[in-house]
Amino acid sequence: MVIGCCALSSSTFSQTESEDPFRAWLMYFGDHRFDADSKWGFHFDGQYRVNQFGSGNEQLLLRPGINFDATDTLQLSGGYAFIRDAADKGFDVPEHRFWEQLILRQRVGSVGLMHRYRVEQRLVGRKIPDDVGQGELDGYGYRNRFRYFLKATIPIGLDDYYIGAYNELMLNFGTSVTNSIFDQNRAYIALGRSLGGVGNVELGYLLQLNQRGSGGSVTKRHILQVGFFSSVPIRR
């Protein structure tokens, strides 16, 4: 499977590439147990993504869900996401998304690893230009997507600081796929700091390779990310 993914990525990235302006993503990720002893909890992540450091809106993502901690190393989750996308179209395009995921955590020496397997059912809005430049909603297209995410958390010998690095591969599947199954690849590295019982903060760089809708070329994006992560229980 790993060999297949590498071959897929190599084939895809050899296509024509284009560069996008530098972008920035501001992000919050929360996994909050209902109380300190509960296996159940609430997930929420919110992301505000801008291009050219605020010169134009790009995307708003709101993703609530429910977590179940089956064991100390296995978590099952599911939920809904709303996305408002104005990145490349000149007007807002809505997306409604349902998602299910499995997270496995492990340690290799001092390094923490997280494997995330996510399946998404996406209802992506179709808009056509109108006279006032806002676009007219012309229904939704249905898409399926699989995502595999691997993140390493690496201590660096300084109190409370660490290196975070991940790669995430996204693949389309199902009858709606008309061109390449490849959707995106995201490679990330960051400096992180633990904030004690409150959570963690990370400042990082993301290289995103994004398949254009036509399936003929890949867009390369350089993205500054600022993320806050919290797992404080709702009731202690």
Residue type, 9: S
| Domain assignment of residue 121, yes or no | yes
Residue 3 has a CB neighbour count (10 Å cut-off) of 7
Q: Residue 38: its pLDDT value, please?
A: 95
Instruction: Return phi, psi of residue 132, to 5°.
Output: -105, 5
Residues contacting residue 6 through CB under 8 Å, at least 6 positions apart: none
Domain count for the chain: 1
Gyration radius of the chain over CA positions: 19
Q: Residue 88: its pLDDT value, please?
A: 60
| Domain assignment of residue 167, yes or no | yes
Domain extent at residue 111: 2-49+58-230
Q: In terms of Cα–Cα distance, which of 212, 224, 227, 228 is closest to 54?
A: 224
- pLDDT over 70 at 163, yes or no: yes
Residue type, 82: F
Structure tokens given for 42: 């609430």
| Domain assignment of residue 131, yes or no | yes
- pLDDT over 60 at 10, yes or no: no
* Cβ(50)–Cβ(58) below 8 Å: yes
| Domain assignment of residue 235, yes or no | no
Q: In terms of Cα–Cα distance, which of 67, 55, 58, 52 is closest to 27?
A: 58
% the chain with pLDDT above 90: 66
| Domain assignment of residue 236, yes or no | no
* Cβ(194)–Cβ(160) below 8 Å: yes
Which of 17-21, 53-57, 170-174 ranks highest by mean pLDDT?
170-174
The CATH number that applies at residue 188 is: 2.40.160
